[in-house]
Structure 1
């Protein structure tokens, strides 16, 4: 139940993630953020 918010402004991309079912961040959110950072 991940629904990331993605904001793109010129050469910057901001990705916000949360797990709505859990009411906040979970380990999976942190894993996703780490993978995204590795790609950046």
Structure 2
């Protein structure tokens, strides 16, 4: 019964972890855009 709940928690945890890792990288990429276009 609780397997679906724990699986959902694992997925949510992985997504939040990926967001915390990717969002600073995206911010850095957007702020560090080179002048060459």
What is the TM-score with the length of structure 1 in the denominator?
A: 0.35
Structure with greater helix share of residues: 2
Structure with greater strand share of residues: 1
Which structure's relative contact order is higher, taking Cα pairs within 8 Å and 6+ residues apart? 1
Larger Rg: 2
